[in-house]
Amino acid sequence: MLKERINIENIDGQLFEIKIIEPDDSKPASFTHYLYNHKNGISQFYKKDALCFVKQILEKEYPNEQITQEFAEEALQYLIFDFNKAVPFPAPEKPKFKFIDLFAGIGGFRLAFQNLEGKCVFTSKWDKYSKQTYKANFGEIPFGDITKPETKNYIPDSFDVLCAGFPCQAFSIAGRRGGFGYNDKFNNLGVTLSGRAFRSNLFARSSQKGFPLQSLTQKLVA
């Protein structure tokens, strides 16, 4: 039976091959986010693209087979198991809160909040090498450019904490220190996410000397 020949290694080995060819393709990220959120309702945000991704890979792997939508759905469910044991930094078994990880780098923020018993339900980073390291650490491929509406549309409605390590040029003492009032391409990334902060109970960002988190929070609330 075809299903019995399907395994996660066949699909997982092709994730970055497709991502590099199509840098704006969010389906590989949706696939990994779906698998790692299958125990909570967040997975439904990613199911449509995850299903498309599985169907695409199966059609490539088995060109002589007819891959129906129903079969792809069955295969997607067949692939679900406890991935946490296969990654160096697994999420807690019984998380106490949910957070999203923007401008994620290789996952420093995520590791800290996982240690506080949080579960990451969305992550984004545009650099492909950071994405590869992030996947190696946590099993998930980050989504891409957070300034694009199609990327922001993947952010779930339900999360408790927004984490962000966005560019610090507008806040650092080595920069202009204009905060959110300074208009440049780097600072606009911070402005892009500020509206999302109000959908969460807490907004956490990497801090810079001379512009503490309290000052940033006051500017967001003003």
The residues assigned a catalytic role are 168
The set of residues, in sequence order, having a beta carbon less than 8 Å from that of 9 and lying 6+ positions away, is none
| Amino acid in the structure at residue 123 | T
Q: What gap in Å lies between CA 194 and CA 122, rounded to an integer? A: 16
Assign 101 to helix, strand or coil.
strand
CA 190 to chain centre: 17
CA angle centred on 204, ends 203 and 205, rounded to 5°: 125
* 19 within 8 A of 131, measured Cβ to Cβ: yes
* Of 116, 122, 73, 68, residue with least CA distance to 95: 116
How far, in Å, are 16, 69, 108 from residue 134 at the CA level? 12, 30, 10
* 174 within 8 A of 212, measured Cβ to Cβ: no
